[in-house]
Structure 1
Amino acid sequence: MTSGTQLSNDNGSHPKNSFKIFIGYDPREDLSYEVCRYSLLKRSSIPIEIYPIKQSQLREKGIYWRERGKLESTEFSFSRFLTPYLSNYEGWAMFVDCDFLYLDDIKKLLDLVDEKYAVMCVHHDYTPKETTKMDGAVQTVYPRKNWSSMVLYNCGHIKNKVLTPEVVNRETGAFLHRFQWLSDDEIGEVPFVWNFLVGHNKVVEGDESTFPKAIHYTLGGPWFEQWKNCEFGDLWLNELEECKKDEEKMVD
């Protein structure tokens, strides 16, 4: 399999040695995907390739076939774990949920990678108080919740070769979302500001180490009417306006 060809690239080019980023895609949240993609491209100082993980494409290609369970709040609940496979088990790649807004250069996150780890992510200690999220989806509670929402994968790591399409289609949510194919010392940690949970993480005035670099609207974002006024919602809406203006310039 040629690296990156299983899904269509969404920024029109394949720069040499570019960093692959796979964004979870759900048709109900198309706007959030577009803004996440735009925020990454706008601030990146390095070449990046962005691929939407679209379940329909994966099914057409015979890569994904599992039935959707009642607790899956998005179409990419399980397909996200195909990231190493989709990267041909080579180099580092990132998966991120579509409900993120990037406020800083992705290179700064990539500079934190350590080859000794199979994956790296924010080690949230998070138990949501709400029973529903986004557009009424059930809010499930489990250990390591939100760890899998933004993951740097060391795709060439021997342990990640376990993540074949067969395993991703067969294994339980617990096995996948809790990284049970790995030992704890193979799961590296990055600062929480790269997966800043709205409603959970807090900015401490004067402490730059708490300023978000990537905002995660995990309960729901401004693309849903009922979440228009959520915390940091104005930042997302401003980014949307910029995104639309840039698209209009390209059309003109």
Structure 2
Amino acid sequence: MASVQPLPIFIGYDPRERAATNVLIDSLYQHSSVPLAITPLVTPQLEAQGLFWRAREPKQSTAFSFTRFLVPHLMGYQGWALFMDCDMLCRTDIKALWDLRDERYGAMCVQHEHVPGETVKFLGEVQSAYPKKNWSSLMLLNCSRCTKLTPDYVNTASGLELHRFHWLGGDDAIGAVDAGWNHLVDVQPAPTASTLDGGPCLLHWTLGGPWFREQRTMGGLLAAEWFGARDDAMKLWD
């Protein structure tokens, strides 16, 4: 029997969103039909390894704004990997997203047209507007095509260069993924009670989620679903 390599998933980690990270990881495991290798990108660990030394910037709203771009290096620039923000909840088998990999592209993502109307998001963090916003929050990365993303480049390139995929050399190297794989909660139209089942595959609380005390109802029915997933992950068994 052929060996099965676990699907490599890297999750952006921010210590303020530990609850979100843990619930996301559990939701990935619970729905997956294949083995997963999940690695949170913890900034102090990357710093200790000499891979990340960039000073925090005023417009940087999370600890993983830039560390996400180290994934191809961590993969040895071989194979594919999936990156996702921690403020997500998986509602279906992540293998269905993995199966969309297309060798024509260096990266694949949901190509949102998100122009934020607000200037502040969770915990008073600055909300920045720029082309390709939220594209890098979920990326299928063809690591052999991402060799420009060296630690030196990740630590010195501008935020816009990184988040606008300048490292791929052109938009024709970016493949599109169905919007259901990165549904922006309270930005895009919300599923109703009748359409919740079979709705978005992956929920993304980009404005802040119910794990923050002051945002417990973000997403309405979707917030209730997140709490249900959290309670299920913490369930005690006799």
**TM-based fold match above 0.5:** yes
Are 1:244 and 2:234 an aligned pair? yes
| Aligned counterpart, 1:180 | 166
SS in structure 2 at match of 1:114: coil
Q: Which runs of 4+ in 1 moved over 3 A?
A: 203-208
Partner of 1:195: 182
State the partner residue of 1:142.
130
- Per the alignment, residue 46 of structure 1 pairs with 34
Distance 1:236 1:204, change over 3 A: closer
Say which of 26, 33, 55 aligns to 2:43.
55
Aligned to 2:17: 29
Distance in 2 (CA, whole Å) between partners of 1:66 and 1:200 is: 30
Q: Which residue of 2 aligns with 1:11?
A: none
Structure 2 match to 1:10: none
Residue 81, structure 1, aligned to residue 69, structure 2: yes
Tell me the distance in 1 between the aligned counterparts of 2:87 and 2:27.
11
Q: CA deviation at 1:226?
A: 1.4
Identity of aligned residues (%): 45
Unaligned runs of 5+ in 1: 1-14
Corresponding position: 1:127 with 2:115:
yes
TM-aligned CA deviation for residue 70 of structure 1: 0.8
How far apart in 2 are the matches of 1:162 and 1:17? Answer: 26
Deviation at 1:202, TM superposition (A): 2.1
C-alpha spacing 1:221/1:207, structure 2 compared with 1 (3 Å): closer
Residue 99 (structure 1) aligned with residue 78 (structure 2): no
Deviations 1:18-40 (A, max 9, x none): 11000000111100010111111
Partner SS state of residue 50, structure 1 = strand
In 2, distance between residues paired with 1:61 and 1:125?
36
Shift of 1:129: 1.3
**Match of 1:226?**
214
CA distance in structure 1 between the aligned counterparts of 2:152 and 2:8, rounded to whole angstroms: 22
RMSD of aligned residue pairs (Cα, Å): 1.9
Please list the CA deviations of residues 15-73 of structure 1 after superposition, one character each: whole Å capped at 9, or x if unmatched. Answer: 84111000000111100010111111111111110000000000011110011101111
Partner of 1:8: none
Q: Measure, in 2, the Cα distance between the counterparts of 1:71 and 1:169.
A: 15
Per-residue CA deviations over 1:159-190 (Å, capped at 9, x if unaligned) read: x0110000000100010000012211100000
The secondary structure found in structure 1 opposite 2:166 is coil
Alignment pair present for 1:213 and 2:209? no
Residue 155 of structure 2 is matched in structure 1 by: 169
Q: Secondary structure at the match of 1:77?
A: coil
Q: Give the C-alpha shift of residue 90 in structure 1.
A: 1.2
C-alpha distance in structure 2 between counterparts of 1:204 and 1:58, whole Å:
38
CA drift at 1:106: 0.4
Give 5+ residue unaligned stretches, structure 2. none
- Alignment TM-score, normalising by the size of structure 1: 0.88
